Amino acid sequence: MIRILVIDFGCPNVPNLCNSLSFLGCLYIRRLPNDLDSLDFSTINGIILSGGPDSVTVNDHNTIDSHILDMKIPILGICYGAQLIIKLKFGTVLTHHDKLSGWKTLMIDTNSPLYRNLYHEIYVYCKHDDIITCVPDEFKITSYHCGKKVIMSFENEESKIYGVQYHPGVLDSKEGEIIIINFVSICRN
């Protein structure tokens, strides 16, 4: 059985995400970011860093130990989780003057394992004040917001680290469901 650690940064969609993982036959372990010390990471097949209300642009934001990103365990950062990955890897996240909220159309790189079985445009739910403006060199940008050229996802396929600045776990998101299925497939390999 695939074991997925969901690090919960406070997003209200986390229960939906956990239900999706259960439906896909995964055992999920849901933990707060400050409750990871006793966890045996050798039993974990994948990690999801959830969204949440914090901003990585302030000094006292929730975080994780950066060594988790070097464990060679597949990781999916969602919204705040994606921004945290970029911050820990020394990319750039800024507070944006024009909040991205609601359903948005993205242009995606269909060669990404996370976007397998999807078309070049997908419709996803966003809700954030911060945006990723620069990814570190070891990452590749895999989607943009159609209207604003905002970075919406990235990956390091070799390290199996993926990040999305939207919420694939919301209800009624067909594309989001496929993205979660694709991440679980990455964790199985």
Q: Which two tokens stand for residue 130?
A: 């911060």
Distance CA 46, CA 170 (A): 20
Give me the mean pLDDT over the 130-144 stretch: 94
Pick the CATH number of 3-188 from 3.10.450.50, 3.40.50.880, 3.40.50.720, 3.20.20.140: 3.40.50.880
Which regions of the chain does DSSP assign to beta strands (E)? 3-7, 27-31, 46-49, 75-78, 92-108, 121-134, 140-145, 151-156, 161-164
Question: Does the pLDDT of residue 169 top 90, yes or no?
Answer: no
Helices (H), 60-170: 80-88
Q: What is the pLDDT of residues 29-83, one digit of tens each?
A: 999 999 999 999 999 999 999 999 999 999 889 999 999 999 999 999 999 999 9
Sign of CA dihedral 13, 54, 90, 109: positive
CB of 176 closer than 8 Å to CB of 168 = yes
Question: Does the pLDDT of residue 99 top 80, yes or no?
Answer: no
Check residue 129 and give its pLDDT: 82
Domain positions in the chain are: 3-188
CB of 80 closer than 8 Å to CB of 108 = no
pTM of the predicted protein model: 0.95
